[in-house]
Amino acid sequence: MSAEVTTRTQASEGTRQPFGQRVRDWWNSRSRLEQWLMIIPVVVLVYLLPVMNFFPLSTEPWTDYELALFNAARLGLIALGLNVVLGQAGLLDLGYVGFFAVGAYVAAIMTSRDSFLTDPRYSWVVVVPVAIAITMVSGVVIGTPTLRLRGDYLAIVTLGFGEMVRLLADNLEPLRGNRGFQDVGGPPGTYANGSPIFTQGDGKPWYWLTVTFIIVILLLIGNLERSRVGRAWVAIREDEDVAEIMGVPTFRFKVWAFVIGAGIGGLSGVLYAGQVGFVNNQRFDVVTSILFVAAVVLGGSGNKLGVLLGALVISYLPDRFQLAPEYRFLIFGIALIVLMIFRPQGLLGARQRLLARGRQAYQRLVGKPEPVATESALIDSGKGTNA
């Protein structure tokens, strides 16, 4: 067997590393300072996108360009949250739209004049933490019973819970069903002339606000991933039983993934409700949930930047190319299928760096950037476990 192993090693050394891996190696071997120097212009560019309203970026005349950008960013935020649940911990949650709905409804109840609260004029600055807290609690409530299930069973039950949230909105009188809540509040702030900054017509401030949230959450989640929590999630995703007998409190970490994901979903619900200014029971169906999952899977489950890209593709492209609106979803569907054939791991595949301070540790150990075997399961995370 040693002979067999040797030949295989030689073979894999002979083949060229895939492009993505070479990019990653190159990136990992830069110093922190160099990395930041390259990140900053990209971030500036992202912030400048709304003012670059010209060909080929613009989505006009079909869709308002700034609102299209806001919607893409909002879906990006959702994808980041779902990525914690689905990409990191490997829990297939088909009811994620439920958390989005909870966030939107909390914002509506706390700020709309249609609310059953006697004085529903809470400041948006208060609404955000309250909404996040309430969605996180709902994550615990939904997660505690369901996360004892695994795989397909978990998917079915979460699907049911997502529907339950929608049906509650349909049928509970205080939630006003189809009539919904008018005049949901947004963030405070006015221009010099006294007109409010955050209005329904102007997507720019909403986009900038959402991008800022995304950056903050990227930093927070990035730190979590590199911690013991992140390692536990990956272990659970790879093999839950083995994770447990290695001493990982699997149930607790699964609930945590659910709760953190829920909080981010709630936040994007608040942003959505504020921008649209109106919340009713129409936008929280299963199809929306599947769209969220599609953004994550398409972009590369487990890869933060990948899921952002996936969200951009799913939200921006249909807005950009509306030449034949009646074929829009047909083209979209075909594009998804083609992508799944050629990139089953998503646009950007996942590669977790699990070691705490992994970069430095690898540099010390082998004197070069952390390599991963080209046939690594993390690169092709669509495959099952080993034989």
Partner 1 sequence: MALLELHSVSVAYGRIQALRDISLTVEEGEIVTLIGANGAGKTTTMKAISGLVPLSQGSIEFDGADISKVRADLRVVRGICQAPEGRGVFPGMTVRENLEMGCYTRRDRKAIAEDFDRVFELFPRLKERATQAGGTLSGGEQQMVAIGRALMARPRLLLLDEPSMGLAPQFIQQIFNIITEINKQGTTVLLVEQNAQQALSRAHRGYVLETGSVTRASTGKDLLADPAVKEAYLGVA
Sites of contact with partner 1 (CB under 8 A): 1, 4-5, 228, 231-232, 234-235, 238-239, 241-250, 352, 354-355, 362, 365-366, 370-373, 375-378, 381, 385-386
Q: Map residue 284 onto helix, strand or coil.
A: coil
Residue 300 Cβ, how far from partner 1 at the closest point, in Å? 14
Q: Which residues contact 284 (CB under 8 A, 6 or more apart)?
A: 97, 98, 100, 101, 104, 162, 165, 166, 169
Residue 105 Cβ, how far from partner 1 at the closest point, in Å? 36
Residue 354 Cβ, how far from partner 1 at the closest point, in Å? 5
CB closer to partner 1 out of 38 and 365: 365
Q: Map residue 218 onto helix, strand or coil.
A: helix
Residue 32 Cβ, how far from partner 1 at the closest point, in Å? 22
For 23, other C-beta atoms within 10 Å of its C-beta total 12
Q: List, as one string, the DSSP characters of 83-139.
A: IIIIIIS----TTTHHHHHHHHHHHHHHH-TTSSSSS----HHHHHHHHHHHHHHHH
Residue 298 Cβ, how far from partner 1 at the closest point, in Å? 20
Residue 251 Cβ, how far from partner 1 at the closest point, in Å? 8
CB closer to partner 1 out of 39 and 373: 373
Q: Map residue 358 onto helix, strand or coil.
A: helix
CB closer to partner 1 out of 289 and 352: 352
CB closer to partner 1 out of 1 and 323: 1
CB closer to partner 1 out of 117 and 246: 246
CB closer to partner 1 out of 243 and 267: 243
Chain centroid to CA 45: how far? 21
CB closer to partner 1 out of 46 and 224: 224
Largest interatomic CA distance in the chain: 79
87, 96 contact by CB (below 8 A): no
Q: Which residues contact 105 (CB under 8 A, 6 or more apart)?
A: 169, 175, 269, 273, 279
Retrieve residue 162's tokens: 């997502």
Residue 153 Cβ, how far from partner 1 at the closest point, in Å? 16
